[in-house]
A and B are shown apart, each in its own frame.
Chain A
Amino acid sequence: MVAGLLLLALLTGLLGLVLVVSARRIPADAITVVDRLDSVLPHTQCGRCGYSGCRPYAAAIAAGEADINQCPPGGDEVIVALSQLLGRPAKALDESFGLAGPPIVAVVDEDICIGCARCLDACPVDAILGAAKFSHTVIENECTGCELCIPACPVDCITVTENTSQLDARAAH
């Protein structure tokens, strides 16, 4: 009886030791789950998913805290890509996080703009050009349509419009 228990304890201990050693020795893959998930997100950094940016959202998905259908700018394509990566069924966009729509870009009405430069700091991709006291303008090609600059503007001179640069490119193609 005692011998049996002792032996079992010994066996368990031995196996535990093997596990501890192996856990330290096995090399880790450099590309993490968060990297993979992050790579399919649209990187608008708009924060509509409820996280402060795309990477935090990817981390939340990996941790099981967020669902895969919380990214309105990504639309169905991103949901499908995430579902394929994670081997889960795709689902419809959760519209409480916003609606998917055509690609949009921000436009600064330069007649109203007072040159306060606040939108410059709000833009996550540095797509607004300008300096204090000078009218600002949006680099259409780089704007992701995240709309983060809109609340930052004290005179409400920023609006969004459908992004036509892609359509033009398509016609040229």
Chain B
Amino acid sequence: MTDLVLIIIATVLVNNLVLTKFLGLCPLLGASTKFETAVGMSLATTFVLTLAAAGSYLVDRYVLVPLDIEYLRLISFIVIIAAAVQFTDTVMRRSSPMLHQVLGLFVPLITTNCAVLGIALLNVQRSVSFLQAVAYGIGGGLGFSLVMVLFSGVRERLDFADVPTPFRGTAIALVTAGMMALGFIGFTGLVQE
């Protein structure tokens, strides 16, 4: 139990996917202009991440390895991720069409979000159990969501700030992302891996 909690803490705070591994920066900058959008994107990504982490572990452990066809790992993982993304896309289009419209291409792009495939591939190497794989998935998703939500809050506040013209928009967003990473450095060493 403790190891699962530690895995989640480590992936959320210490080895945050976005701020220390620099995975998933594209949705971070693209879908964070509004708080509501960022929450939607976070939920979608967390869902896909968890599903992908669990699914890929199962497929790898019980299908690919026993049958000795690990060379199909990449393609089968992508199939799983694509299916999860497609499912998310369908749900979102139906239940909140406006959010779907705003996120636009970013939802299908979760498929190519390096964070998702990254977690799936890393899991194969480091997970010793199914639960650990799920924990990595949840942790990765929560870490992404945390950064995403905090970031969108700051960006909304920046709408009212007197930012110098050349720095408006993406420039100040990148500076802010750097500041966030600086803050997260403080968590270094919390969990020994």
**Would A and B touch once assembled, by the CB under 8 A criterion?**
yes
Contact B101 A62 (CB under 8 A): yes
Q: Does A101 contact B (CB under 8 A)?
A: no
Give the A-B pair count, Cβ closer than 8 A.
Answer: 67
Contact B72 A4 (CB under 8 A): yes
Q: Does A86 contact B (CB under 8 A)?
A: yes
Which chain A residue lies CB-closest to B91? A26
Chain-A contact segment, one of B75-83, B122-130, B143-151: B75-83
User: Which residues B75-108 have CB closer than 8 A to chain A?
Assistant: 75-76, 79-80, 83, 86-87, 90-91, 94-98, 100-102
Q: Contact residue range for chain B?
A: 20 to 34
Q: How distant is the Cα of A15 from the Cα of B87 in the complex, in angstroms? A: 10
Contact A8 B79 (CB under 8 A): yes
Contact A19 B94 (CB under 8 A): no
Which chain A residue lies CB-closest to B75? A8
Most chain A beta carbons < 10 A, residue from B97, B102, B169: B97
Closest chain A CB from B103 CB (angstroms): 8
Most chain A beta carbons < 10 A, residue from B37, B72, B95, B101: B101
What sequence of 0s and 1s flags, for each residue 121-148 of chain A, a beta carbon within 8 Å of any chain B beta carbon?
Answer: 0000000000000000000000000000
Q: Does B34 contact A (CB under 8 A)?
A: yes
What sequence of 0s and 1s flags, for each residue 41-65 of chain A, a beta carbon within 8 Å of any chain B beta carbon?
Answer: 0000000000000000000001000
Contact A31 B59 (CB under 8 A): no
Q: Does B45 contact A (CB under 8 A)?
A: no
Q: A residues within 8 A CB of B34?
A: 84, 87
Q: How distant is the Cα of A7 from the Cα of B65 in the complex, in angstroms? A: 13
Q: Does A11 contact B (CB under 8 A)?
A: yes
Contact A15 B83 (CB under 8 A): yes
Q: Does B42 contact A (CB under 8 A)?
A: no
Q: B residues within 8 A CB of A87?
A: 31, 33-34, 37, 102
What are 23 contact pairs spanning A and B, CB under 8 A? A1-B69, A4-B67, A7-B63, A7-B69, A8-B72, A11-B79, A11-B80, A12-B79, A15-B80, A15-B83, A18-B87, A19-B86, A19-B87, A19-B90, A23-B90, A27-B94, A28-B94, A28-B97, A31-B97, A33-B98, A62-B101, A85-B98, A89-B33
Residues of A within 8 A of B (CB): 1, 3-4, 7-8, 11-12, 15-16, 18-19, 22-23, 26-29, 31-33, 36, 62, 84-87, 89
